[in-house]
Amino acid sequence: MASVALENIQKTYPNGFKAIHGVDVDIQDGEFLVLVGPSGCGKSTLLRMIAGLEPVTEGVMGIGGRKVNKLEPSERDIAMVFQNYALYPHMTVYNNMAYGLKIKGLPKSEIEERVKNAASILELTDEQLTRKPRELSGGQRQRVAMGRAIVRKPSVFLFDEPLSNLDAKLRVQMRMEIKRLQDDLGITSIYVTHDQVEAMTLGHRLMVLNNGEVEQLGTPLELYEHPASLFVAGFIGSPAMNMITSKISSDGKTIHIADDIELALENGGSADHTNRDVILGVRPEHLELASGSDDALPMTVTVVEHLGAETLVHGHFGNDMTDLTIRKSGILQVKAGDILPTKIRQDHIHLFDPTTEKRINL
């Protein structure tokens, strides 16, 4: 068990490309931190720097209070699970798990005990331990890769998109197993993914990365309820948040959305923000069907998606063609061309500055 401290970590490749622009984070002992972002955002690079597979250009990397910048991966007391599992194809499952321990020079009995223990945690049978990796299914290989990490009894687990090679059903199952395993073992874990559902369900905290910069760091619900930037707002949550280019009125109390649609701001708005362009964000579940018709915003329906448990209605307000999504649980009988009376939950709107793309707090 150990904490992991990153202090102004930067990465510049020899060709001058700057992959990571200064990351600061303190990961608590036993915490599950998820690094999430689109491909190419630097999340894997950051993880590989923690693992010691990629040199750190600048900053201080600490694991368990020890500066590890110059240490070899094997000296950092970490274990890593790779996206393609990286099992040694010519070794049996048992030897795959035992290899690192053999190199460490542990006695045979100890190795056997640790491997057997890991196998029972991961529900791998004795028969499977004698097989070669290619004779196993994807899910089983994934377990072996995790077993190889567990037997090392590391202070920190590093996961590099471990579930992306699995089919959807198995992914959900393994996701739960990883969560349970991390809870049981209480080992500090850092998990890289581009899948926001994985990120939301697994992490105690999430770090959203974009172009090598930290967009936001916080618990899943903090990120969901108070996204710090347009990027986070659009990245977290599916279907994505509705974004409407709008304008705050000159008295700062209402916001002009489209055509002649005005929306009163909660608590009467703010005197600091008047007469300016903003981007209004509303999550699909906070765009609701209005019962009364007086203050309803008429939405023209373009596409209806029936998912069974919920219905997604796509449409737009009047002549403003911004595509909007309503998420309504249950089945909603509407069709394209209908005009639905809708209302925006004023307590759940998000405002962003169109130039800096940062959140505006009223």
Chain residues binding other proteins by CB under 8 A are 51-53, 72-74, 78-80, 82-84, 86-91, 99-100, 103-104, 134, 148
- Measured from the CB atom, the residue of 104 and 306 that comes closer to other proteins is 104
How far apart, in whole angstroms, are the C-alpha atoms of residue 121 and residue 180? 11
- Measured from the CB atom, the residue of 100 and 298 that comes closer to other proteins is 100
Please check whether residue 189 is in contact with residue 33, taking contact to mean a CB–CB distance below 8 angstroms: yes
Q: Which of 345, 311, 306 is nearest to 326 (CA)?
A: 311
Closest contact distance (angstroms) between CB of 87 and other proteins is 8
Closest contact distance (angstroms) between CB of 148 and other proteins is 8
Please check whether residue 209 is in contact with residue 167, taking contact to mean a CB–CB distance below 8 angstroms: no
- Measured from the CB atom, the residue of 148 and 175 that comes closer to other proteins is 148
- Measured from the CB atom, the residue of 57 and 302 that comes closer to other proteins is 57
- Measured from the CB atom, the residue of 80 and 192 that comes closer to other proteins is 80
How far apart, in whole angstroms, are the C-alpha atoms of residue 6 and residue 25? 5
Closest contact distance (angstroms) between CB of 167 and other proteins is 20
How far apart, in whole angstroms, are the C-alpha atoms of residue 160 and residue 171? 14
Please check whether residue 318 is in contact with residue 298, taking contact to mean a CB–CB distance below 8 angstroms: yes
Positions of E strands within 133-292: 156-160, 188-193, 205-210, 213-218, 242-248, 254-258, 261-264, 276-282, 287-289
Closest contact distance (angstroms) between CB of 61 and other proteins is 16
- Measured from the CB atom, the residue of 154 and 315 that comes closer to other proteins is 154
Q: Which of 81, 41, 270 is nearest to 161 (CA)?
A: 81
Closest contact distance (angstroms) between CB of 25 and other proteins is 22
Q: Which of 360, 352, 313, 356 is nearest to 332 (CA)?
A: 313
> 16: which 2 tokens?
């001058």
How far apart, in whole angstroms, are the C-alpha atoms of residue 162 and residue 172? 12
- Measured from the CB atom, the residue of 55 and 268 that comes closer to other proteins is 55
Closest contact distance (angstroms) between CB of 45 and other proteins is 13
CB atoms within 10 A of CB 90: 10
Closest contact distance (angstroms) between CB of 285 and other proteins is 40
